Amino acid sequence: MLQQLMASPHLFWLSLGGVLLAAELLGASGYLLWSGVAAALVGLLVWVLPLPWEWQGIAFAVLTVVAALLWANWLKHKPDNSTTNESLNQRGRQMVGLHGHLLEQPENGYSRISIGDSTWRVSCADNLNIGEEVAVTGVEGNTLRVVGLNAPSSIN
């Protein structure tokens, strides 16, 4: 086996690159990716230009570091297309600013409104009547705070 590796070291490096890349597929989070790429490149280099094993090891180490640094540099300069949404998975906070109509006459400051395909419990400090248009101003647990749109002085 060792004689076979010494006779064709490019197969060793290509195999090592394949094993490292396959291991990366199992979830190494990028740690083995650049080592696998470097091993495959050394395999191609040794196939074209026979090098002693010392130089093969040095080429593998240098290519691994260079590939990782190039990747880190690319990531640093890559534009960030992600948008952070503070209200992601917080349906109530996504409702702030929306309008709806009261479905029930408020009792003790609470009523219900319909937004989209859902009805929501709302608290309102204003004296509102059924059918009035309201705007959502905040969230308290699963209850939306609303103000009447006919009372502009109460909108904060």
Q: What domains does the chain contain, in order, with CATH numbers?
A: 2-77 (no CATH), 91-149 (2.40.50.140)
Per-residue confidence (pLDDT) for residue 141, from 0 to 100: 85
Q: Retrieve residue 136's tokens.
A: 């959502």
Dist. CA 68–CA 37, nearest whole Å = 10
Contact 122, 108 (CB under 8 A): no
Kind plus residue range of the DSSP H or E element containing 119: strand 118-124
* Residue 75: pLDDT band with limits 50, 70, 90: confident
**Residue 44, pLDDT above cutoff 90:** yes
**Residue 60, pLDDT above cutoff 80:** yes
The residue assigned the tokens 């219900």 is: 112
The residue assigned the tokens 């890349």 is: 21
**Residue 89, pLDDT above cutoff 60:** yes
Average pLDDT estimate for 30-51 = 91
Q: What residues contact 144, with CB distance under 8 A and at least 6 apart? A: 92, 95, 113, 120, 121, 122, 123, 136, 138
Between 132 and 83, the more confident residue is 132
Mean pLDDT of the chain: 84
Please state whether beta strands 99-101 and 118-124 pair in parallel, antiparallel, or not at all (unpaired): unpaired
* Angle ∠(126,127,133) on CA atoms, nearest 5: 75
pTM of this prediction? 0.50
Distances (CA, A) of 138 to 2, 82, 89, 112: 72, 26, 16, 15
Dist. CA 34–CA 73, nearest whole Å = 14
**Residue 151, pLDDT above cutoff 60:** no
Least confident range of 8-22, 71-85, 136-150 = 71-85
Least confident range of 12-16, 81-85, 138-142 = 81-85
**Residue 98, pLDDT above cutoff 80:** yes
Per-residue confidence (pLDDT) for residue 156, from 0 to 100: 43
